[in-house]
Amino acid sequence: MTSSSSARPSRRPTRGRGAAQGRPKAGAGRQKSAPVARPQEFTMPEPLTPALEPVTAFEDMGMPEALLKTLAAQGVTEPFPIQAATLPNSLAGRDLLGRGRTGSGKTLAFGLALLARTAGRRAQPKQPLAMVLVPTRELAQQVTDALAPYATAVNLRTTTVVGGMSINRQSGALRRGAEVLVATPGRLKDLIDRG
């Protein structure tokens, strides 16, 4: 007599309950939640105050003359669309949200208003008057470079605080006083923790 092992499946002894013996599947017994709808695009909040009309010339915005001269010297003769739309509102002290592609003029859209509203004021040591928070040190340097000629024109001091640079030098610049601070979150936290 010969036996055939393929005729009957072998039974191996098991410990506990296995999948073949009724182990509940992961998540069994829980209520299924509805799938989370993820927005495809940022939805703008409803404005409480209507936006001011866009302008077609920097001269129509009431900015300091020194900023207007520097714009002309830099070859910036008319506002980009994002600047025309946002500057009247930001110069009036309104909150705003703007977005645009690289090269669309975003930095000057917020930077000119920041400098115009800060011009003529002096910061106390360790108490900047305005801050631009950016995610990377490369962007911090780009923002600083873009704003530098305009800040100089209205006699404002800028300083940049980012990781990968001497924290002592950056702390010293803040102790001496700077009206405009451009910072990355990590280094800003380090400096705050140091006092």
Q: What is the distance in angstroms between the CA of the first residue and the CA of the last residue of the chain?
A: 91
**pLDDT at res. 184:** 97
**pLDDT at res. 29:** 57
**pLDDT at res. 115:** 98
**pLDDT at res. 37:** 65
**pLDDT at res. 50:** 86
- For domain 122-195, give the CATH superfamily: P-loop containing nucleotide triphosphate hydrolases (3.40.50.300)
66-122: per-residue pLDDT in tens? 999 999 999 999 999 999 999 999 999 998 888 899 999 999 999 999 999 999 999
Domain assignments of the chain as residue spans, ordered by start: 51-119, 122-195
Partner residues linked to 132 by β-bridges: 182
* Contact (Cβ atoms closer than 8 angstroms) between residue 61 and residue 109: no
**pLDDT at res. 5:** 44
Which residue ranges of the chain lie beneath pLDDT 50?
1-7, 9-10, 18-19
| Pairing state between β 130-133 and 180-183 | parallel
DSSP 21: G
- What pTM was computed for the model? 0.73
**pLDDT at res. 32:** 62
Q: Which of 187, 127, 191, 137 is nearest to 157 (CA)?
A: 127
